[in-house]
Structure 1
Amino acid sequence: MASKTFTASIKLLIDQERNTVLLAEARNDFIDILRSLLKLPLGNIGLLFRTNKSLLTSCLDNLNNSIENLSLNSFRTHACKRMLLHPRSIHKDKSVQYFTCNKRGCGLLSYYGTSRCSCGKLMNSEIYLEGMERDGVKDENEGGFCKVESMFFISDDLRVMKGLPGDLIQFLNKLGIKDVNMNAVRELEIGSAEIFNLLSHSLISKTTLTDVFLRKQVTMLVERPLLIGPSTMETTAKDGKTRVKILERKSDRKILYAEANEDFVDLLFSLLTIPLESVLQLVGDSYIIAGSIFNLFNDLNTIFSIAKPKTLQDYSWPKRIFSFLTHPLGSVYEFVTKSKDSKKVVLPPFYSCPNEIPDICSQQPPAYCLVTDTSRVNRRYYLESAINKRGGPLKLLDPKSPEPNTTNSSGYVEKNSLFVITDDLVVKPLSSVSSISLLKEMGVAVDDVEEQVISIGEIEAVGLLRACLCSSSALSDLMKVYV
């Protein structure tokens, strides 16, 4: 994944007369890091942007800050806050840890050392997988796309193509470039800061390479409508369970803030757990971004099939059987065969799946058994796959549930909670004092406030997902559906 010490060499072909980048030439390492960034959950993307002082839309930044600022009492468990601040991805995940209690015989396993066992003890004793196997989906190109060195061409608007000489000539002809003497070649050594800056510019710029490497300008957020009104074939869920009270200023119809319970806040927070490439799949490339990130996403998808949905035809019979036997509770085979429709987005086990976005599901947890190694002087405990073991598999606890015996719980936020949400998605606990303070800060009189209750369906949820990428007024965008 992206490292703070990452460096790569690229060559820029520059139109000196127009001071624009015509093309970049890069090797596997540069393309690999772009691909790895697309696989990161939105929450991790936000943290990387913040660390490297790149462009970050206020909605995404505010959601991350809200989670950090909320007390642990606002979450169902201590693990909930950690899950949201550092969401896992199914594509890595070298950071997976396992914990049991010291009693050992309770039959429970946890991803977090803050969970409580059924015996009442803290599950803070870390235990390791034999052979250091991991839960995440192993990338078919892990460690790089190609075993041999490859070259790629990248256009100013992030179109990616294999680096063949004939393709370069064809590309220059399309641009009307005939005299190559007017062009300069510049070789650059770039690091993580430039990579994250490139990714952030890709959200709003059609001349991404020029803006990042030549103009080096501070990008400004481009405000544009993110939602379209529902058509006759596509309507909002007016009778949905998740309802939000929107408060507007009557004089100019400006959105002031929203009041909502934990269901809506769970939806907002859970958006941070969705990988960037999956966000792009869900929202589509229409009515969203003025930038070039969809060019990058679509071309990498075409070249390397990074977002190709898994079907039965993608797995040979031996591989499917092996997957089922080694992970009987969480295999791709079980997931595909039990689903009538192929899901677009798969999150790690126990990560909330917003009901408002039906194309998201969670993996089933893997099945492991506790093994005792008595051959050593100091007895050692470790985990192995549950297949062919006499004892039953350990039960993996849902880290979001405060009760060890609860299964399939959902939601990160404490039940029966109320929150106030600003237009740019700052989330705070709701109280009468907080509401009055907000009106006071905005200079709004009480008699100039009007309430409207809306229901959240799939269109609204996807619209909020879009807002996390490229908006600073998510609630205003949301209300456009109801105009």
Structure 2
Amino acid sequence: MENKINLKALVDKRSNKVIFIESDHAFVDVLLSFLTIPLGTIIKLGREHSVPVEIGCINNLYSSVEEIDARELRSDACREMLLLPRNAAESHCKNLVLQIDHNAKPTQYFVCSRYCLDTATSKFFSYYPGLLCVGCMDTMHREISLSVDVASAFVKERARLLITDDLQLISPFCTSIVSLFTKLGVTNRNTTEELNLNIGVDEVMNLLISSLVSKTPLTETLLNHKPVAELNHDNNYQVVHIDPQTEGETVLMEEDNISIKLIISKSKNIIKDGSLKGCIDQLYWSVQDLDAQYLKSNHHKEMLLNPKLVPGFCHNSLLEIEEASYYYLGSGLTTDSSLIPSNRSSESFKIEPTDHNSSARGFLKGPAIFTVTHNLVIRPISTIFELSVLDELNVPFTDIEERVVLMGKKLAPSLLVASFASDTALTNAFISEPYQE
């Protein structure tokens, strides 16, 4: 029988919108887990639950990774990292009352044939088979069993919080509740009603997607007020992006900038709003401001506010996303250094990331040239493909021009946000940037 969580909702009868819901720790933990789920996993879950994931260009990006030739990738593990990404907080989400990733396989761990994980001075393991062990440079194919610290989820068991329609977490004793009523124009109890609601996995999945594209996800999910909001799809912003990848094995230039060539429609050089469509950021800021009495520890808060990659993930340094630090205690793993005995140095327990060389070079073999369309469809360089894109967007040859831009650590996050806030991500991220002739 499917698990359910009971929620008590206060609803504005005039607008048929949720004012706030009351819940214990079970639902709050599920909600906070949204901050730890990678975008690739959200796309996968949407397909499994038959929930349309209309989040910017992310679907196109995901499909491009599915279709890319294996010969273009540095290893077989690279595709799995992108399509089935792992996050360092996953062990804390395995005991949630509602599991949206019901098809998730048990976590696997791999070591080299020399078992460098067990050595006294160096300990190496991987979530993905086939990566190189830094200790001996052998491939890590041997699967082992490991236990991971599981202090189930994030908030204390007796914690009770109010959750607004836009996913702000509010203490029941907070004076901001009055301002919430004032903001919504609720002047007395006669215009409100209480509802008892039971939600399951399907509702949680819809709430996850709504949190990324809607400002009122609780109303849409719990009251069926309207379907999940979709982004507009139009052809007003025409951009084809060609990445020449610079020379040899060196992808990053001075100050970690990447040189990018853009082919742009001159007549449709317009910028569209690239701000977040949903309210997942409100949930993030609420956690940042949440009183320490509600969370299990500072470590749990850090997992939500600064989610990290698992060791050995082949990432690019431009986004400056950190790998989690793992510590090996007996036969188990932990990401919480406070669990290490006070008379021992944490460095003696620390597990080093695997495959340093791969991490520095990313997912694709190089040097290589790819075409990326304005909505993040990626293909190996092809003149025919580029011409077909221009035909599809109805852009004549006389209306195109080339620009060269540099993408560094300031611009890379803008492209990331644009990829799930807009269906014309490259236009939003690059078109207003200064360029070189």
| Same fold flag (TM > 0.5) | yes
Q: Distance in 2 between matches of 1:299 and 1:120?
A: 44
Q: Distance in 1 between matches of 2:89 and 2:383?
A: 44
Contact 2:5 2:199 in 1 (8 A): yes
Q: Is 2:110 the counterpart of 1:99? A: yes
- TM (norm. structure 1) is 0.65
- TM (norm. structure 2) is 0.71
- Residues 150-201 of structure 1: CA deviation (Å, up to 9, x unaligned): 3322222222212349876775466553442332222111122222322333
**Displacement, 1:247?**
0.8
C-alpha change, 1:206 and 1:196, in structure 2 (3 Å) is same
Q: 1:128 aligns with which of 116, 139, 145?
A: 145
C-alpha change, 1:191 and 1:133, in structure 2 (3 Å) is closer
Q: Specify the SS of the correspondent of 1:58.
A: coil
C-alpha change, 1:431 and 1:164, in structure 2 (3 Å) is same
- Residues 227-276 of structure 1: CA deviation (Å, up to 9, x unaligned): xxxxxxxxxx9986411111112443489xxxxxxxxxxxxxxxxxxxxx
**Displacement, 1:400?**
7.2
Contact 1:66 1:427 in 2 (8 A): yes
- Residues 389-434 of structure 1: CA deviation (Å, up to 9, x unaligned): xxx9998741874xxxxxx633111111111111111111112332
Q: Distance in 2 between matches of 1:443 and 1:171?
A: 48
Q: Specify the SS of the correspondent of 1:217.
A: coil
Q: Distance in 2 between matches of 1:204 and 1:31?
A: 20
Q: Which residue matches 1:471?
A: 422
Q: Which residue matches 1:72?
A: 70
Q: Which residue matches 2:197?
A: 188
Amino acid at match of 1:9: N
Q: In structure 1, list runs of 5 or more residues that go unmatched.
A: 224-236, 256-285, 316-331, 333-342, 371-386, 402-407
Q: In structure 2, list runs of 5 or more residues that go unmatched.
A: 95-105, 234-252, 332-343
- Residues 29-88 of structure 1: CA deviation (Å, up to 9, x unaligned): 111101011111222223233433144313111111111111221210011111111222
Q: Distance in 2 between matches of 1:424 and 1:437?
A: 14
Contact 1:39 1:89 in 2 (8 A): yes
Q: Which residue matches 1:14?
A: 11
Q: Is 2:401 the counterpart of 1:433? A: no
C-alpha change, 1:70 and 1:167, in structure 2 (3 Å) is same
Contact 1:55 1:197 in 2 (8 A): no
Q: 1:90 aligns with which of 88, 91, 111?
A: 88
Q: Is 2:355 the counterpart of 1:398? A: yes
Q: Which residue matches 1:209?
A: 218
Contact 1:77 1:399 in 2 (8 A): no
Larger Rg: 1
Q: Specify the SS of the correspondent of 2:268.
A: coil
Contact 1:43 1:86 in 2 (8 A): yes
Map 1:268-347 onto structure 2 (within 5 A): 288-303=275-290, 346-347=308-309
- Residues 341-399 of structure 1: CA deviation (Å, up to 9, x unaligned): xx9664322224433334x33345657999xxxxxxxxxxxxxxxx99xxx99987418
**Displacement, 1:24?**
1.6
Amino acid at match of 2:287: L
Q: Specify the SS of the correspondent of 1:202.
A: helix
Contact 1:198 1:212 in 2 (8 A): yes
Amino acid at match of 1:212: T
Q: Distance in 1 between matches of 2:126 and 2:154?
A: 32
Contact 1:79 1:399 in 2 (8 A): no
**Displacement, 1:304?**
5.6
Q: Which residue matches 1:262?
A: none
Quote the RMSD (CA, aligned, Å). Answer: 4.3
Aligned residues with identical type, % of pairs: 28
